[in-house]
Structure 1
C-alpha cells in the first residue's frame, strides 16, 4: 500500500450487494479505499469477497437500513473499525410497482423508510462526523424519476424527488465546510430493482436498460470532483430536460404507458 492509500479513510456504501451500489464500491476499492458496505440481503457477503480481490479491507453487514435499529447497528459497526469516513455513498433504495391503493401499506412504508428515513438517519450521523473533521464526500443515488410524477410508481418517484431536492439543500448548507454533496440521477438501469419492485410485466421492466458499471463510474467521478449533480446517459439528460418544461399532468400520463401493470403486453 502506498503512503497516499494509507492516508485514506473508509468508503461507506449502502445497497452494495449488486447493481449500482456494488459498482460504486468497486470504484472506491480500485482507488484504494477500505470499505464498509451494507445491504439487507445475504448476498452482501458475496460482494465483499469479490471486492477484497482489489487488495482492500472490506467490512460487510447485512442490515435493514429502513429501520433505526439497522442504521444504528451499521453505524456501530463502522465506528468499531476505528477509521475516519472519507466517502459516503447512500445508494440503498427500494421500489414498488402497481397503483397506490392496490399496494400493501406496509410495503409502501418500507419504501419510504428505506429511501428516505433510513438514508437521512445515516447521512445525519456520518455527515456530522465529516463536518467535524472538515473533510468528506457524500453521494446520493437519486433518479431522473424524481422529475416525473410516477403513475404506478407514485411512492418511489416521490421518494426520489425528495432525495434529489434534499441533496441540493444539504450541499448548500455544507458549503465551505470541506464536505461536498453530489446527487447521481440515473435512468432505468439493469439491476435487480425491477424484479424486486414487481415491474417485470411492464414496458419499463422489459425495456433495454443502462449498464450499472458506467452509471456508477459517472456518479463516483462526479462525487470525487465535488460536482452537485450528474445525470447519467444522454437519453436521460434529454428526458430530465424535457421533464422540466412539460406539464406534470402530461408527464404522469406518459409514465403510465411505461409502468402500468400488464403494459408490456400492449
Structure 2
C-alpha cells in the first residue's frame, strides 16, 4: 500500500548518485520505484524503507525496450510526481580497442533507454500538467572524450536534449532539469575499466553533495545545475576552448596508464 501521495521513479539507484537521489526523495516523503541492472537494487530498497517510504525495486536492463516496459508496468497506474533518469554506463579505452557491443550498450543505456522512459512518463505528466524530470547529464558532455569517446558523446546528447525538452514544455507545469556532475566518488570508474587512469584514481566529488545539488535544482525548477565550483569553472572554460585542445586535455585524464601513484 502507498505510504505517501508523492511518488518518484529513480533509475540507476543501486549505488552512487542515483542511490543518493533516491535517499533524498525518501527523506522528502516520496514513495519510490527504483531500478538498476544489478541485484544490489534490492538491498538499496531495504535501506531506503527505513525512511518510512513505500519502496519497490525492479532489477531491469534499461538498455532494452523490454526493460523500460517492465519498469513502466511496475508503476501500476500511480501518478508520477518525479522522474529521475539517472541510469548510465561508462566505458574507457580507445574506441577502436573497445568491444563494439559494449560501446553500443553505453548508447542504448544512456540515450535510448532514457528516451523511451522519458517519452512514456513525460506524456503522463503532460496529460496531468504536473511533474518534475531530472536527467543526469555530465560536464563530460562539454568536451570531446578522448579514451571515453562514446560516453562523452552520450552525455553531450543528454545535456542538449534536456534543454530542448524543457523549452517544448515551457507552457506547462512540467519542469525538466539537467544535473551535470563532474568526476564523482562512485563505482563508475571501476565498471568503466578506468582504474589505471588519472581521473579514475584522483580525488572526486561526494555523491551526496552532487545528489543534493541536483534534487534542489529540480525542486526549484531550474534548467540545469553543474555541481561543484571546480566543475563550474571547467564547464565555463570548455565553452571558449577549441575542441582539439579539449580532446588533448581529456586524453591526459582518461588515457590508460596515466594513473598517478
Q: TM-score band (shorter)?
A: over 0.9
Do the aligned partners of 2:145 and 2:153 also contact (CA within 8 Å) in 1? yes
Distance 1:181 1:133 in 2: 15
Do the aligned partners of 1:8 and 1:86 also contact (CA within 8 Å) in 2? no
Q: Choose from 82, 99, 105 the match for 1:104.
A: 99
Q: Give 1:7 deviation, angstroms.
A: 6.6
Partner residue of 1:256?
Answer: 251
Q: Choose from 5, 14, 17 the match for 1:17.
A: 14
Distance 1:6 1:106 in 2: 42
Distance 2:171 2:40 in 1: 39
Partner residue of 1:188?
Answer: 183
Q: Give 1:8 deviation, angstroms.
A: 3.1
Distance 2:202 2:40 in 1: 26
Q: Give 1:265 deviation, angstroms.
A: 5.2
Q: Give 1:176 deviation, angstroms.
A: 1.5
Indicate the RMSD between aligned Cα atoms, in angstroms: 1.2
Distance 1:178 1:225 in 2: 12
Partner residue of 1:165?
Answer: 160
Partner residue of 2:23?
Answer: 26
Partner residue of 2:54?
Answer: 57
Partner residue of 2:143?
Answer: 148
Structure 1: stretches of 5+ with no match in the other structure:
none
Partner residue of 2:234?
Answer: 239
Distance 1:7 1:51 in 2: 14
Partner residue of 1:8?
Answer: 5
Distance 1:119 1:235 in 2: 28
Partner residue of 1:93?
Answer: 88
Do the aligned partners of 2:201 and 2:260 also contact (CA within 8 Å) in 1? no
**Secondary structure, aligned partner of 1:149:** coil
Q: Give 1:6 deviation, angstroms.
A: 7.0
Partner residue of 1:216?
Answer: 211
Question: For structure 1, which segment, 38-47 or 81-90, has the greater mean C-alpha deviation from structure 2 after superposition?
Answer: 81-90
TM-score (norm 2): 0.98
**Secondary structure, aligned partner of 1:64:** coil
Structure 2: stretches of 5+ with no match in the other structure:
none
Partner residue of 2:32?
Answer: 35
Distance 1:244 1:90 in 2: 25
Partner residue of 1:125?
Answer: 120
Do the aligned partners of 1:9 and 1:83 also contact (CA within 8 Å) in 2? no
Distance 1:153 1:7 in 2: 41
1:206-241 deviation digits (Å, cap 9, x = unpaired): 010001001000000000000000000000000000
TM-score (norm 1): 0.96
1:230-255 deviation digits (Å, cap 9, x = unpaired): 00000000000000000000000010
Q: Give 1:177 deviation, angstroms.
A: 1.2
Q: Give 1:10 deviation, angstroms.
A: 1.1
Say how many residue pairs are matched: 260
Do the aligned partners of 1:141 and 1:185 also contact (CA within 8 Å) in 2? yes
Q: Give 1:264 deviation, angstroms.
A: 1.0
Structure 1 outlier segments of 4+, above 2 Å: 5-9
